[in-house]
C-alpha cells in the first residue's frame, strides 16, 4: 500500500482485521464494531459480550462507544492499550495517510445540498398582502390548523412560492441545522384530496435533525412524528419524520452523547414503535417519558394548551412501565 494515500475499502479491511465483523451505517459514513473496552470488562466479570456499539467515523477515525462512552479523535489510544500489534500499521498506513477520493470508487460519498424552492417568500413578510389569493389561502389554512400568530410565522419561517406549479397551493416549512444552514424542508398541500400531501427534498432522513437550530441538548427534548405535530409542541422539540428512530440516526446519537432526557409523543396508533424507541434510549441510560393519549387524536390536531397538559402528565419509562405495557397488550 502507498503510505501516502489509502481508500475507504482498505481502512474497512484493516478495521475488520482488528475488531472483527462490523456494521456499516446506511449513510456509509460510520462502522460499528465490538468495543474492546466493553469486551474486556464483560469478560472480567464472566459474561460474554457481542454488541457492536463502538462507532468509528470512516473519514476522520473519530471513535465513540455508545455503552461505555469512550471517545477519541483517532484509534491510537485504543490500539496502543488493547490491540498494540496493530498500532504501527495504523499510524503508517492510515493516521499519516490521506484518504483517496476517486469517482471510480463505489464507496464515494455524495452529499446532497438542500435549497429552498425558487422565489420562496416568507409569509411573515406578506401577512398584510390581501391581493395575493395564494397567500390568503395559505394563511387561512394555517389558521384552520391553529396557527395564526405572527410570531409563529416568524419562528417557523413558513413560506410559499408562485414559481413552481407543483408547489402551488402548498405551505413550505424549512428546517435549519445547528449552524443555521438549511437542512430540510417540507411543502404541505392546503387542498383536500391532493396526493401526495407532502413534497420533500431527496435526503437521507437518518442524517437530518429537524429544527436543530433551536434545540437545547441539556433540556428535555420532545420527539413527535411530523412537522405539524412539532408546531404544536413546546419549544425544545423536533420531529423524526416518521415513526422510527434507530442508533443509525444522527438525532439518536446526539441524544445519547448528551444524555438528553426525552419525552416521546408519537401518534396514538404508533404505541409499539414508541415502546421500541423508548427501550433503545433506555438501554443507553437516557431518561424517557411517554405521552399517553385519552383518544386517537394526534398532537397535530390538538391545541398547544392540550399538548402542554399531555406533556405534564407524561409517564416515566422504566422496567415497571415496560412490564405493565406487555401485560396490558396480552389481556
- The C-alpha angle 24, 26, 27, rounded to 5 degrees, equals 100
Name, in order, each residue with C-beta under 8 angstroms of 195's C-beta and a sequence gap of 6 or more: none
Q: Is 176 helix (H, G, I), strand (E, B) or coil?
A: strand
Question: So what's the pLDDT on residue 108?
Answer: 34
- Surface-to-core class of residue 6, CB atoms within 10 Å of its CB (0-12 exposed, 13-18 middle, 19+ buried): middle
Question: So what's the pLDDT on residue 22?
Answer: 87
Can you list the residues of the chain whose pLDDT is less than 50? 1-3, 101-111
With beta carbons less than 8 A apart as the criterion, state whether 292 and 313 touch.
yes
Q: Which of 153, 173, 184, 163 is nearest to 118 (CA)?
A: 163
- CA–CA distance, 251 with 208 (Å, rounded to integer): 7
Instruction: Summarize pLDDT for 27-45 with one digit per residue, the tens.
Output: 778 899 999 888 887 666 5
With beta carbons less than 8 A apart as the criterion, state whether 210 and 242 touch.
no
Contacts 24+ apart (CB under 8 A), 84-91: 86/14, 86/17, 86/18, 89/14, 90/14
Helix (H) or strand (E) holding 186: strand 182-189
Question: So what's the pLDDT on residue 7?
Answer: 76
Question: So what's the pLDDT on residue 98?
Answer: 65
All domains in the chain, ordered by first residue: 5-99 (3.90.580), 111-203 (3.90.980.10), 215-331 (3.40.1360.10)
- CA–CA distance, 223 with 245 (Å, rounded to integer): 10
Contacts 24+ apart (CB under 8 A), 270-276: 270/225, 270/243, 271/325, 273/243, 273/244, 274/243, 275/322, 275/325
- CA–CA distance, 70 with 56 (Å, rounded to integer): 11
Instruction: Summarize pLDDT for 263-278 with one digit per residue, the tens.
Output: 999 998 889 999 999 9
Question: So what's the pLDDT on residue 142?
Answer: 94
Give the global pTM: 0.68
- CA–CA distance, 116 with 121 (Å, rounded to integer): 10
Rg (CA), the chain: 23
Question: So what's the pLDDT on residue 105?
Answer: 35
- Helix (DSSP H) and strand (DSSP E) numbers for the chain: 11, 17
With beta carbons less than 8 A apart as the criterion, state whether 119 and 22 touch.
no
Amino acid at each position: 500500500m502507498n503510505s501516502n494515500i489509502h481508500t475507504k475499502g482498505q481502512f474497512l479491511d484493516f478495521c475488520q482485521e482488528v475488531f472483527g465483523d462490523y456494521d456499516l451505517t446506511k449513510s456509509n459514513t460510520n462502522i460499528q464494531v465490538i468495543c474492546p473496552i466493553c469486551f474486556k470488562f464483560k469478560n472480567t466479570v464472566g459474561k460474554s459480550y457481542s454488541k457492536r456499539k463502538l462507532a468509528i467515523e470512516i473519514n476522520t477515525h473519530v471513535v465513540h462507544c455508545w455503552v461505555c462512552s469512550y471517545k477519541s479523535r483517532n484509534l491510537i489510544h485504543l490500539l496502543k492499550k488493547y490491540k498494540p500489534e496493530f498500532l504501527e500499521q495504523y499510524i503508517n498506513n492510515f493516521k499519516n495517510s490521506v484518504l483517496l477520493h476517486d469517482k471510480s470508487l463505489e464507496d464515494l460519498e455524495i452529499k446532497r445540498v438542500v435549497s429552498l424552492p425558487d422565489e420562496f417568500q416568507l409569509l411573515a413578510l406578506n401577512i398584510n398582502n390581501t391581493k395575493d389569493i395564494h397567500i390568503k389561502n395559505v394563511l387561512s389554512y394555517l389558521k384552520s390548523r391553529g396557527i395564526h400568530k405572527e410570531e409563529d410565522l416568524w419562528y417557523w419561517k413558513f413560506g410559499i412560492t408562485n414559481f413552481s406549479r407543483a408547489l402551488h397551493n402548498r405551505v413550505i416549512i424549512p428546517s435549519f441545522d445547528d449552524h443555521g444552514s438549511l437542512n430540510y424542508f417540507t411543502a404541505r398541500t392546503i387542498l383536500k384530496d391532493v396526493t401526495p400531501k407532502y413534497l420533500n427534498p431527496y435526503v437521507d432522513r437518518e442524517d437530518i435533525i429537524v429544527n436543530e437550530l433551536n434545540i437545547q441538548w441539556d433540556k428535555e427534548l420532545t420527539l413527535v412524528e411530523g412537522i405539524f405535530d412539532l408546531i404544536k409542541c413546546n419549544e425544545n422539540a423536533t420531529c423524526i419524520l416518521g415513526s422510527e428512530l434507530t442508533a443509525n440516526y444522527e438525532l439518536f446519537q446526539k441524544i445519547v452523547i448528551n444524555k438528553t432526557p426525552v419525552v416521546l409523543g408519537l401518534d396514538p396508533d404508533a404505541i409499539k414503535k414508541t415502546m421500541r424507541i423508548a427501550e433503545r434510549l433506555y438501554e443507553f441510560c437516557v431518561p424517557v417519558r411517554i405521552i399517553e393519549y385519552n383518544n386517537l387524536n394526534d398532537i397535530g390536531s390538538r391545541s398547544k394548551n392540550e399538548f402542554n397538559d399531555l406533556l405534564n402528565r407524561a409517564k416515566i419509562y422504566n422496567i415497571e412501565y415496560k412490564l405493565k405495557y406487555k401485560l396490558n397488550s396480552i389481556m
